[in-house]
Structure 1
C-alpha cells in the first residue's frame, strides 16, 4: 500500500512556524488500528486522513471528502490546523478546481474556502461557561503557578478549560509559562479536561493589533503544547467576542513557533477562522 503524505505548517506563511500537521490522502478506509500507528509514527500534534467518499471522486476535482484526525495517542473530534493543512494539500498540491471543499467529520460538515492567500475555515462556535475557580485550584496552580487568574471557563463540547490571566499580566508572563505535562495529568485525571487554554487580553490599538493572546496545553491527548490551535479558537472566539464586544478579531498563539489567526463570528453560531499554510514535505508512505 502506498499513501501520499504531506507535512504542512498551518497558520503561518513561513516554513517552520505555525503548527505542523501530517496529511495522508487515502482512497478507502484503513484498518482502524493503522490510523493510530501512522499518527504515532508521524509524532506531530495531529495527523489528518483525507478520504475519498466515492470511487469516482478525485482529489483534484472532488468537492467533498471524509476527514479524521489523530494525535500520537488517540482520535479527536475537532482539529483546526490539520483541517487547514488538509485543504492546503488539496488546493496547493492537488490543484483542486473547486472554490470550496467540504469535509465530513466527527464535528459535522466543515467547509474551507480560498480567500486571496488565506484559507478560511467555517467552524462551529463553542461557548464556554464560567466556573468557580476553587474547583480547579490544583490544576490552575500546575498550569500558571502564582500568576493572578481573572476568570476560568469550561467548554463541555470540547472539554477545554479556558484560563484568563488578570489584565495586569503582560505577554511575557504568558510566554514564560512552562507547565510540566506530568503534573497537569496528575492533578486532573477525571477525563473532564482534555486541554488547558491560557489567555490574556491583547493590545488592539498597537501594531499589528492583536485582540488577545493564548497558549494551549493538551498532555491528555499526548500533546504537551499545541503550537497553534484552531479548535481552541472556537472557544476563545466565543469568549473574547463577548468580553470585547467585537465580531472580528485578530489573535496570536504565543507558542515557541507562534501563529496568527483571523476570526469572524457569524450570526449562525459559527466562526470563520482564517490563516495561511505552507506545504513543506511531500512523500509516500509505503506499507
Structure 2
C-alpha cells in the first residue's frame, strides 16, 4: 500500500518556520491503529488524515471531507495548524475548485476559505474562566518558575490552562523560559489540564504590531512544546479580546520556530484564525 504524504509548515510563508504538519489524503479510511503508527513515525506534533465523505467526489471536486488529527501518542479533538495545512494540500496540490472547504471533525464542521496567499479557518471559540492561582501552584511553578504572573484561566472543555505573565515582564522572559516537559507533566496528574498556554501582552506600537505573545506546552499529548498552535488561540483569542477590547488581533507564538496568526472574534461565538502555509516535503509512505 502506498500513501501520499505532504509536510507543510503552517502559520508561516517561509520554510522551517511555523508548525510542521504531515498530511495524508486517503482514498479509503484506514484503521485507527495504522493512523497512530503513521503519526508516531512522522513524529510531528500532528499528522492529519483526509478522507472523502462522498465516494463520487475527488480531492479536486469535493467540498466536504472528513479530517482526523493524531499526535505521536493519541488522537486529538482539535488542531489548527494541521487543518490549515490540510486545506493548503487540497487547494495547492489537488487544485480543489471550491472557494471554501468544510472538514467534518471531532470538533464539528470546520470551514477553510482561501484568501489571497493565505487561508481563513472558521473555528469554535473556547472562552476560559478565571481560576485561583493557588489551585495550580505546582504546574505554574513548573512552567514559569518564580516569574510574576497576573492571571490564571482554565478552558475546561479543551483542558488548556492559560497563565499570563505580569506586564512588568519583558518579552525575553517568555522566549527565554526553559520548560522541562517531564516536570510539567508530573506536576499535574488530575486530568484537568492537558496543555499549558503561557502568554503576555504584546507591543502593538512596534511593527508588525502584535497584540499578544504566547507559547504552548502539551507533554500530556506527547508534545513537549508545540511551535504554533491554532487550537490554543481559540482560548487566547477569547481571553485577549476581552482584555484588550478588540475583535481583530495579530498574535505571535514565540517558540524557537515562531509563527504568526491573524484572529477575528466573531459575534456568533466563533473565531476566524488566518495564516499561510508552505510545502517542504512531498512523498509516499510504503506499507
Query: TM (normalized to structure 2)?
Result: 0.99
Q: Which residue of 1 aligns with 2:194?
A: 194
How far off is 1:189 after superposition?
1.1
Measured in 1, the distance between the counterparts of 2:111 and 2:227 equals 23
Q: Does 1:7 align with 2:3?
A: no
Gaps of 5+ in 1: none
- How many residue pairs get matched? 287
SS of the counterpart of 1:224? strand
SS of the counterpart of 2:140? helix
SS of the counterpart of 1:234? helix
Q: Which residue of 1 aligns with 2:50?
A: 50
Matches within 5 A, 1:55-204: 55-204=55-204
Q: Does 1:31 align with 2:31?
A: yes
Measured in 1, the distance between the counterparts of 2:93 and 2:264 equals 27
How far off is 1:150 after superposition?
0.2
How far off is 1:279 after superposition?
0.9
Q: Which residue of 1 aligns with 2:223?
A: 223
Q: Which residue of 2 aligns with 1:286?
A: 286
Measured in 2, the distance between the counterparts of 1:106 and 1:31 equals 17
Gaps of 5+ in 2: none
Structure 1 stretches (4+) deviating beyond 2 angstroms? none
Q: Which residue of 2 aligns with 1:253?
A: 253
Query: TM (normalized to structure 1)?
Result: 0.99
SS of the counterpart of 2:139? helix
Measured in 2, the distance between the counterparts of 1:31 and 1:155 equals 31
How far off is 1:191 after superposition?
1.3
Deviations 1:144-164 (A, max 9, x none): 001001010000111000000
